[in-house]
Structure 1
Amino acid sequence: MQEEVVETVEPVFGEEEVAEENAQAKQVEELVAKLEESDNRYLRLQADFDNFRRRTKMDLEATQKYRAQNIITDLLPALDNFERALQAQVDHDQAKSLLQGMEMIYRSLLEAIKREGVEPIEAVGQEFDPYLHQAVMQVEVEGSAPGMVLEEFQKGYKLKDRVIRPSMVKVSQ
């Protein structure tokens, strides 16, 4: 009997095939790295665009919220003048009717700016707040706590949550 000899043939790779396989693996790695870099760049660009859109929306909302600020700032000196004129004491009937007309105009101006979100800042009797009040005088008053607003020289105003003009006040020491 003859013995059969079975030979298994293992493929023999030459250096060329190994070098070619390594080159292909390296090329695949480079392509994967480029793809990841492109994905990262795309995600950063998308995040930048989202941030831009959010910033633009916030700017537009702030513009809408404070759109009346310039005109109100221009009207405040006129309101101050109305207040001074209304404090005048008159005896003549014609002057009294004129004063009543000025008071009506003054009230309608106050209502108009109130509809836009303008509020006067409360000052007298309040604790001094440097964000709301501008101290122009300090005096010592017995029986008054230090840092309290004693007198208001010029009324301050806020537009929604923004101070347009701080109140000019006298503060106790």
Structure 2
Amino acid sequence: MNAEQKEQANGRPETDVETNEQEAGATYDAGASAEGAADTEQATGQSEAQEAVYPEVEELKKQAEENHQRFLRAQADFDNFRRRTQKEKEEFAKYASFKLIEQLLPVVDNFDRALAASKGSSDYEALTKGIDMIFRQLEQVLTSEGLQKMEAVGQPFNPEYHQAIMQVESDEYEEGIVVEEVQAGYLLKDKVIRPAMVKVSS
């Protein structure tokens, strides 16, 4: 079959087919070029955006690291403070009676002197006077620390302050009144450290 017959069979000349193929190729190339340009432009835009964001990210990383370091220092300071406080608490509990003992030492010294003097003397009146002075000195020390002796006799019986060991008949007091103190009771400031042992009227 010759060319003329092929043209008649296909219904169009070969030159038209070639022209159409060339136009299609050019259109494809143009589309590809446009798409490539768009991709390049998009990539360029992304690159510029990344370059703009990068300093901010670095700054945030720097701030995060600084905050982390500050947190670690604060935690270390707190741990040191807690250990120091615990040690001070233990020291305080261990030597809580230091001041009282220091104040009692002169009383102990005077007792030693009184005992030493009594061994070589029969002057019981002087010995009694000396012991009374030492007792007053001891009372002053204890009072300065907040110790108070209860006044129980003549007071209504109160189980918070008194321990009744006996009920007795009394013409002087009404029923339920402390008539005799067998053992003194004491308060340390406002806290009962020993109730008074008493007899109560019935």
Q: TM-score scaled to structure 1, two decimals?
A: 0.47
| Greater relative CO (CA pairs within 8 A, separation 6+) | 1
Higher helix residue share: 2
Which one has a bigger Cα radius of gyration?
A: 2
